[in-house]
Amino acid sequence: MNVTETVLDFFNKRGGLPGASLDDQLQCHYLDRKIIDSMGIIEMVSHFEKTFGIHFDVELLQSDEFLTVGGLISIIGRLTGKIET
């Protein structure tokens, strides 16, 4: 299962990500852009934990990295051992 495709698909099903390029989309701050709200965070975390068989600890959820799509992909990649380039 490709982490990047799975994460982008999650956001695309919720209206998509702004940006003309993949790099723009990866830099998107999904909360600031109101793509998902606080309840959406709960759904997102639950979805990715179930999909990838991982667990987000509190430090990860509070990290700056967690706030962008690209950061989220990196975190999931590390937790699954599926680091993508």
**Domain parsing of the chain, residue ranges:** 3-80
Beta carbons of 16 and 8 less than 8 angstroms apart: no
Q: Residue 84: is its pLDDT beyond 70?
A: no
User: Residue 64 corresponds to which tokens in the numbers above?
Assistant: 């700056």
Q: Which helix (H) or strand (E) holds 31?
A: none
CA dist 77 to 57, 80, 83, Å? 15, 5, 5
Calculate the dihedral angle through the C-alpha atoms of 45, 48, 50, 54, rounding to the nearest 10 degrees. Answer: -90
Q: Which helix (H) or strand (E) holds 76?
A: helix 69-80
User: Residue 49 and residue 33: Cα distance in Å, rounded?
Assistant: 23
Q: Residue 58: is its pLDDT beyond 50?
A: yes
Q: What pLDDT shows up at residue 82?
A: 76
- Under CATH, to which class is 3-80 assigned? mainly alpha
User: Residue 1 corresponds to which tokens in the numbers above?
Assistant: 């299962």
With 0.75 as the threshold, say if the pTM is over it.
yes
